[in-house]
Amino acid sequence: MNKVRKMVMLALIISQALVLHLIEGFMPVVAPGIKLGLANIMTLVTLVLFGFKEALVVVIVRSVLGSLLAGSVTAMLYSLAGGILSCLVMGWLYFRWRAYFSMMGISTAGAIFHNIGQLLVASWVFGTIGILFTYLPVLTVAAVGTGFFVGLASRYIIKYLEEQKWFKWERG
Amino acid sequence: MKRYQRIRALIIAIFLLGVALQGCARTAGPQEYRKDIFALNTWVNIRIYAGKDGPDILDKAVKRIEEIENRMSVTIPDSDVSRINSNAGKQPVKVHDDTFEVIKKALEYAEISNGAFDITIYPIVKLWGITSEHPRVPTEAEIQDKLRFVDYRNVVLNEAEKTVYLKEPGMGIDLGAIAKGYAADEVARILKEEGVVHALINMGGNVMAMGGKPNGQPWRIGVQDPRAEGARRHIAIIEVMDGSVVSSGDYERYIVDIYKKTGKRYHHIFDPSTGYPANSGLMATTVVAQNSIDADALSTTVFIMGVERGLELVDKLEGIDALAITFDKKIYTSKGLKGKLIVTDKEYELQP
Amino acid sequence: MKVGDLIVYIFAVALIMVGLLGMYAMGTQGGDKSVVVELDGQEVYSCRVYKGMAPVEFRVDAGNGQYNIVLITYEEVKIKEANCPDQVCVKSGPIRHAGQAIVCLPHRVVVKITAGHEETPDVDDIAS
């Protein structure tokens, strides 16, 4: 795939991640800034179709833009910490242990670490580790749910894109 | 494909704009404004919650306090009070309405306390000079000599002319035990007129609370530890939405040298019946009332009268509560305060 | 389900346990305690906890009509009521020991028990 096409594809993916990121902001699940990680769908897709470096770029750009558009500095910190940690874990699992994991397994691990990253930042911001313990159980249960959903969605998106002739051609 | 993406971009843009605007639309509520000034011989602190005109409102309040000080101070030569005192035994003096009101109120309290509260104590105050630079313990003869002039019944008020007359030459009045309360009430009145709902006024320990805290909770007013030796520390808490809490005690002003040598406190609250600092077994009293002028006058009154007579008087008055702290660190309360006082210092024992 | 997936789920269960245990096991110093309520990292209220104290109910106003009502007794501290979307703070139940905290992230409120009485005023003003 040539450079420009790749850039355009990544830009599209980022914009979609951004929309997911913002839609998530409307869901009254936890707190301003702390999110379930629906945007991880796009992270995972990028990871599989483009690679680790590209996925990290998607995460960072999405977090920064998303927080600038609707959020605060703390929201950006939450978002970055969660996104990067989740991306690292998913990348590690995908490129190293792919044979042992389904898409859902990888994305669930990603979702769990997405929460851990955010909670660590929240603990630091609020100055008490109590936050980590208080929210860990609830968010982990939620992560299992979203993780599964994110994995499923990613699997279909990847499958669909890989079946597309134009994409295959571009990829080749 | 291109068309489709353009529409999508537009939708995203509108969506993002909405989100961004929502973030900006946070409106600012009332803000806290504070003012600290030195007036009425004490430290005055006003805390209000208001809009942008907060500083202007505070300026108005300060102006009013200064006005009251200029009329009621014994140390300002052309104040109403100074003029009344210098014309004692000579002629009635025309005074401002607020001076007249305060003196009238003071005489009412003198009446109901059988003279325990008496503004004509000034000759005794001056003799001891507790608040002056050179306080001293006078001789018995000196005290008896000045005590002759202490009698609130020799203050003559003329309601129509708004004049005040002290019958005997040598007499004098001091509104120190009531003027701060009046000033606090006046500040509260001005704040209310200006639309302020939540405020906390502290006139040298006379606390006037308005409207509870902005979060709907009552103001929590501490009762000063009478043995904190200058530190601001409380031993109990009284919660008030609207009302005044005033303490009086032997700890506020006293002859420090003598206290350091002998442990005896010659303090600034005098008993009009003896001419000596009140010695009713109390370290301090605190009075809670709707108006600060009542709380101010009564805290002094109860301090002079002691636990039994003082609290009995308070129980008779409607809407007034009090607590008295004895030397053995026991806290006695009036009926209305039972179950409401939160004692925070274990050394002090709340009496049932 | 693959082996790895199973490990992920076991990990999730372990995390839930750690969270629950951590909530209860955090710091257990005895002695004098204080309760501190923070909003946005700013202390908005604090009080000493001692035997025989009258229960204190404090309402945290987090702005925009958001509130949490904190109930402080000698035995325990809890958030009695709140209008936050997740209700985690209410459901997390009471805390009892120094070092523990209740957190309401949506309202940016932290209620924590600290060891020892810091010289922070628990009154708005003092009548002296």
Beta bridge partners of B132: none
Contact C127 B213 (CB under 8 A): no
- B341 part of a folded domain: yes
Cα torsion angle, A51, A56, A59, A61, sign: negative
Residue B90 in this model has a pLDDT that exceeds 90: yes
Residue B22 in this model has a pLDDT that exceeds 60: no
**Containing structural domain, residue B116:** 50-166
Which pLDDT tens digit goes with each residue over B287-335?
A: 999 999 999 999 999 999 999 999 999 999 999 999 999 999 999 999 9
Contact C4 A97 (CB under 8 A): yes
- Give yes or no for C64 touching A (CB within 8 A): no
pTM of the predicted model as reported, rounded to 2 decimal places:
0.55
Contact B20 A71 (CB under 8 A): no
* Class of domain C3-115 (CATH, top level): mainly beta
Residue B36 in this model has a pLDDT that exceeds 70: yes
Contact C127 B237 (CB under 8 A): no
**Contact assessment for residue C76 and residue C67, using Cβ atoms and an 8 Å cutoff:** no
Contact A15 B16 (CB under 8 A): no
Same domain (yes/no): B145, B57: yes
Cα separation, B293 vs B119, whole angstroms: 14
**Residues on chain B touching C32 (C-beta within 8 angstroms):** none
Looking up residue B320, the CATH number of its domain turns out to be 3.10.520.10
Q: How confident is the model at residue A172 (pLDDT cuts 50, 70, 90)?
A: very low
Residue C81 CB coordination number (10 Å): 15
Rounded percentage of chain B residues whose pLDDT exceeds 90: 67
- Number of folded domains in chain B? 2
Which pLDDT tens digit goes with each residue over B140-167?
A: 999 999 999 999 999 999 999 999 999 9
**Residues on chain A touching B16 (C-beta within 8 angstroms):** 22, 69-70
Q: Say which residue the tokens 């003329």 belong to.
A: B158
Q: Which two tokens stand for residue B325?
A: 């702290």
Q: What is the ipTM of this complex?
A: 0.82
- Give yes or no for B19 touching A (CB within 8 A): yes
**CA distances for B129 relative to A100, B22, B82, B238, angstroms:** 92, 64, 17, 33
Give the mean model confidence (pLDDT) for residues B28-38. Answer: 74
More confident call, A28 vs C19: C19
DSSP string, B86-148: HTTTT--EE--HHHHHHHHHHHHHHHHTTTSS-GGGHHHHHHH-TTSSS-----HHHHHHHHT
Same domain (yes/no): B142, B237: no
How many contacts does A have with C, using Cβ atoms within 8 A? 115
Give the mean model confidence (pLDDT) for residues A31-46. Answer: 76
Same domain (yes/no): B157, B243: no
Residue C40's pLDDT is 77
Same domain (yes/no): B160, B261: no
Give the mean model confidence (pLDDT) for residues A61-76. Answer: 80
Find residues 70-99 of chain C whose CB sits inside 8 Å of chain A: 85-86, 88, 92, 99
- B139 part of a folded domain: yes
Residue B27's pLDDT is 37
- All partners of chain C with 3 or more CB pairs under 8 angstroms: A, B
Contact B224 C128 (CB under 8 A): yes
- B107 part of a folded domain: yes
Residue C119 in this model has a pLDDT that exceeds 60: no
Same domain (yes/no): B148, B259: no
List strands edge to edge, sheet with C77-82: C56-63, C66-72, C77-82
List the domains of chain A with CATH numbers.
Answer: 3-171 (1.10.1760.20)
3-class state of residue C33 by DSSP: strand
Q: Which two tokens stand for residue C127?
A: 């009548």
Residue B251's pLDDT is 86
Q: How confident is the model at residue B60 (pLDDT cuts 50, 70, 90)?
A: very high
Residue B16's pLDDT is 57
CB < 8 Å & 24+ apart, contacts of A23-27: A25/A66, A25/A70, A25/A71, A25/B19
Pair type for strands B31-39 and B321-326: unpaired
Which pLDDT tens digit goes with each residue over B216-239?
A: 788 999 999 898 766 667 899 999
Cα separation, A72 vs C63, whole angstroms: 17
DSSP string, B285-298: EEEEESSHHHHHHH
Which pLDDT tens digit goes with each residue over C50-104?
A: 766 667 788 888 888 889 999 988 778 889 999 988 787 887 778 877 667 788 8
Q: How confident is the model at residue B34 (pLDDT cuts 50, 70, 90)?
A: confident
Looking up residue B64, the CATH number of its domain turns out to be 1.10.3980.10
Give the residue on A whose Cα is nearest the Cα of C8: A109
**Residues on chain C touching B205 (C-beta within 8 angstroms):** 126-128
Domain boundary assignment for chain C: 3-115
3-class state of residue C122 by DSSP: coil
Contact C48 B344 (CB under 8 A): yes
Cα separation, A170 vs A3, whole angstroms: 10
